[in-house]
Structure 1
């Protein structure tokens, strides 16, 4: 009987392990989606540079997170602030899942947080400066705020809900993008007499393909965060998260299309693509905690807010964000996290829970925002004053591909 129990336990762990590793593959594939969205939404002369940054985000991030970041995020808690540092990963312990499986799953999340910044800083950032940023965010900035929520830190003790990372992952990337783009300044020709000018991306086919890849990858990002698949309860939970994720994305795309149609007299493809991403980012925090109807509402709200956020950042703040990363990931990530306190089936404001959970959500959103804005400002400011953050005007005008990498994607003459 004991042998049978052990066999069932081993089988259950194996199923969970395989599911999480499959989800890991889906989340890693999102790196390709981010690369294609960024390439499609920007100009051809910088395509190789953008692809290189997205590649190195994952390569540098994987090594940095394995070396130190994982232990800072998930190591033994130190005063609720960070984990105890263990260089180059710890022993392969099994706690529900092998630790090495958790390392792989969390590595692709860390890479996602890092790569979000690439789009907002596209077409004018020095490659060497970007490599330093990518190293530091996966080494320190992301793991510390991640520990607060997922590593047993002070926010988890408060009951903060961020199931798959609207704030932990996406807002971290979004707020770092805000600081990076602000300190960089706009691209040459973006503003004339204080008014923004459109700089169209060179290939929306690539951008659209990237969004579809991201939509697919999100079915690893959110359902994979269940971290288990064996058993009836896990199966139902995974199916529920799949559905909430999909409905929010669809509602975000539809809502952003309608608003863009009303404001600009035509349905904008680029805004609608970002609307789908806004819905996905918005539902990521509460995908396991809200009903299907609430998920659609959250996605729709994110899609509407996206349009106005894009305008505000470009026209009022005069921050040049070529792909809309700040709005999609920063603003909609924070918004989606707050809405968990409104729509959660247990403890949500609209389900009889009062304002308590909403208050906790606000603390988590704004503390993470403050941490990332403060640390990333220091990081980008130091880079700017030392090796330099921005390319010269000539390099920017002629394209980063030739000057930074000595090659182009399209072999243009």
Structure 2
């Protein structure tokens, strides 16, 4: 192995660690945004899902995604791919791509939160890793994928990772139906506050940190320093999203709600993920601003329409993923398109509607495929084992009903003592 390849390999492995560490961020974000009676369950299913995904992606998922074939990969099972002395070792490539699968799966989990059976998570994780994620991944990132051949621009996964996870979360949200007590008979919505907003803030900061492995790492090289440019556009977009969500929340809600601000940074990161290597810094700011404002509005809109998305996964990752995927059709810079070597310049640079059309087709194709397969899988699971825990178990909390213990036993004991004292009185 040459020194150059060794440096690139170390770089990608470092970025892999950063992206895998995003799982810790998702644990804190989702657990903090939901109730304490479900906190341990939410944290533990993250480990279980990652483990299922690792084995399934090693066995068949990686080959389906990156193997030879137009519609789906047909080679590379169990990483049985001839070694290339001029490329990053297959083991490192696998781990890097696995970290992306795990993020996409973590996004999908948001739509299941606080009411799905633990077994549903495990089965859906397996099928998502084998039948859903690899198909879109191959279409866009596979060397022979049809959207890749068309020039679909998705540098680090606004479509492949985030849109897929967001659509799967929406389907789960609709099929599981709202949490108990979320909506009144007249359709009005009740706020179900998360039990620890500090956890959620810390989780988002960890995810933001991990994103420096996500986007810059997708350069797959440390040689020319282009990863620094990608990190710049990523940061500018994220910062813009925070401020856009802050002002949008003040305007639409009257308060600078913390969940809205957190959603703003995540939505902006999602949106810039496709465009980070294709757009100029000023465009990254615009992309982030639009994403932050859009996710705040859509989160409120969907809640009013009776869609109980506990962590706003579809607004943050689905809607922002669509916007980010389309954004290169407007803002892709000719000089950066030439450097990356994928697609054409955007509409605002005289490229016409060609690239925007390709991006649109990619968004529609991915959305329809993920929605259809997710629905079929969850429908079958619903008819066989059932998707949702019983009313009694949902009220008790999934910590005790699925795992036999509470994450906060002292609090539960205290509440039981208070309740007992009230009964005596």
What range is the shorter-chain TM-score in? over 0.9
Residue 275 (structure 2) aligned to one of 238, 261, 286: 286
Indicate conservation of the 8 Å contact 1:92/1:100, yes or no.
no
Q: Distance in 2 between matches of 1:92 and 1:222?
A: 27
Aligned residues of 1:278 and 1:332 also touching (Cα < 8 A): yes
Report the alpha carbon displacement of residue 89 of structure 1 after superposing the two structures with TM. 1.7
Instruction: Summarize deviations over 1:142-198 as a string: whole Å, max 9, x none.
Output: 001100011120000000000000000000000000101100000000000211110
Q: TM-score, normalised by structure 2?
A: 0.92
Equivalent pair of 1:244/1:292 in contact (CA under 8 Å): yes
Structure 1 residues 238-317: aligned runs within 5 Å:
238-316=227-305
Instruction: State the partner residue of 2:416.
Output: none
| Partners of 2:90 and 2:131 in 1: CA distance | 20
Deviation of 1:86 (Å): 3.8
Runs of 4+ with deviation above 4 angstroms: none
Conserved 8 A contact 2:248-2:297: no
Deviations 1:258-305 (A, max 9, x none): 010112221111100110000000000010000111001100000011
Out of 131, 135, 158, the residue aligned to residue 122 of structure 2 is 131
CA displacement at 1:352 relative to structure 2: 1.1
Normalised TM-score (structure 1): 0.95
Aligned to 1:229: 222
- Residue of structure 2 aligned with 1:97, choices 68, 83, 88: 88
Counterpart contact for 1:163–1:285, Cα < 8 Å: yes
Tell me if 1:84 matches 2:74. yes
Q: 1:145 aligns with which of 128, 136, 140?
A: 136
Aligned residue in 2 for 1:369: 367
Q: How many residues align?
A: 398
Whole-Å separation in 1 of the counterparts to 2:82 and 2:308: 44
Rounded Cα–Cα distance in structure 1 between residues aligned with 2:308 and 2:406: 24
Whole-angstrom CA distance in 2 between matches of 1:263 and 1:180: 27
Contact 2:263 2:296 in 1 (8 A): no
List gaps (5 residues or longer) in structure 2: 335-344, 414-425
**Secondary structure at 2:78 match in 1:** coil
Task: Determine which of 303, 319, 326 is the counterpart of 1:331.
Answer: 319
Matched, 1:343 2:331: yes
Structure 1 window deviating more from structure 2 (16-25 vs 402-411): it is 402-411
Question: Deviation digits for residues 64-97 of structure 1, max 9, x if unmatched?
Answer: 10011000001111xx110014432214612521
Q: CA deviation at 1:312?
A: 2.1
Does the CA-based 8 Å contact 2:79-2:90 persist in structure 1? no
Contact preservation (8 Å) 1:164, 1:221: yes
Gaps of 5+ in 1: 1-8
Map of 2:190 onto structure 1: 197
1:168 to 160, 169, 175: 160
SS at match of 2:284: helix
Contact 2:49 2:121 in 1 (8 A): no
Q: Deviations over 1:244-265 (max 9, x none)?
A: 0111111001001101011222
Tell me, in whole angstroms, the C-alpha distance in 2 between the residues paired with 1:55 and 1:250.
Answer: 30
Note the aligned Cα RMSD (angstroms): 1.0
